[in-house]
Structure formats: structure tokens, C-alpha cells
Amino acid sequence: MKVVSVNVASVAGEISAAAKRKVKTGIYKKPQSRRVQVGSQGIEGDFICNRKHHGGKDQAIYAYSTKDYAFWSRSQKALLGPGAFGENLTISGIDYSALCIGDVLVLPDLQLQVTAPRTPCRMLSSAIKQKNFSNKFNKANRPGAYFRVTLEGTVGEGDEVKLKNFKDGARVTLAKFFRDKGAKLGREDLERYLRLPIDERSRKKFEYQVTKLE
């Protein structure tokens, strides 16, 4: 596995959302030729607009796969380049849908732990320039992965990536997590997720759902 591209939005972009108004966004990320610094909140200098739904320690880095890019380029009949999905890292040789919560990507100067799949929003549809693209994204179950930074450092194009499997609890794939986030879960499933190192936004949602079962 290898980092094909490191992508950063150094300034806010503007996008025409479904309501046909201009909104600021950090989804437009451009490949970087230099190594970039990565801290607990993500890549240094990467623009994050709506911090209610994006960013934070549990969604510090978003990564997508060249395999998924190939799928979308075929289905959309258009060549999509690194950063088109708003990801920070484009990585080859990895199947994100098979990654499990808690798995760690080990890079030469950086370590990242899987916390959640991506839930698409209207910004993605607008960026891809297709009104209902988020629906296609959901159906394809190719969400990519959010990560927390467990070892701060730097990352650059060409960095080798190794996978360290999570062994401190149940192995739940991103593909299953992606499906379950939109499903009605029972107590056993909710408590299984709450024992895993999932992102804080999902944790609060599942904790609330547990209280509704009492």
C-alpha cells in the first residue's frame, strides 16, 4: 500500500448547494508536492468550514482508495483525480470497506486509527456536479475512512503504508458500520459499537439510542 496523493484545501472554496446559494467549503482539496505536518486535528493548514459535522480528533484525516476512484471513473464515465472526493490521503492497494474499526495504518512518520466511514452530504453531490450523487455513494457502500491521529508526524506522496489489525475487541468492518449507521439497531449491536474506538459523533448517537431503549 502506498500514499498516491496528499490533498489539502488551503483556502475556503465556494460551492452552489442544492438551495442554489453559495456556501464556503473545504471539500476542494489539491494534491501537494511537499511533505505536510499532521497533528491531532489533521493536516496543518487544511481548511475545515463546518466543524459541527467535519473535523475534530476523531475525523482528523479522511482517506480514499485508488480502487474506489477506478470504480467511480467507470460508473461516472469521467476521469476523477485525487482530492475529488475531498479526501486528505489517496492510497493505493487498500480496500477501505474491509478495514475494521480500530485498525491502524502505519506510515513511516505517522500512525492513523480507523474511527468511522464517511456519511456523504450535499457538498459531495455539488463537488461531483451531480445532484443525487450522495444517493449513489450510499448505495455503492464505498465510503472511505475517517481516522484519528495516534502518532503525529508528517506524510508525503510515495509513503509506504502498512496495516495493523485491531485486536482489542470485535472486528467490525467499515462496510458494516456504514450500513448500520442508517439502520435501527438493538441493544446488543449498540453496545458492541460503544465498546469500540468509534468516532465521537457516532458514539453520542448510539449512546442516545441506548437510553431510548431503557
> What residues make up the domain containing 51?
2-213
- pLDDT per position as a tens digit, 55-100: 789 999 999 999 999 998 888 777 788 888 889 999 999 988 889 9
Tell me what pLDDT residue 81 has.
85
- Eight-class DSSP state of 40: T
Point out the residues of the chain with pLDDT beneath 50. 19
- What CATH number is associated with residue 79? 2.40.33.20
pTM equals 0.89
If one counts the domains in the chain, the total is 1
What grid cell was written down for 144? 472511505
* DSSP string over 78-140: S---TTTT--SEEEES--GGG-BTT-EEEETTEEEEEEEEPPP-HHHHHHHT-TTHHHHHHHH
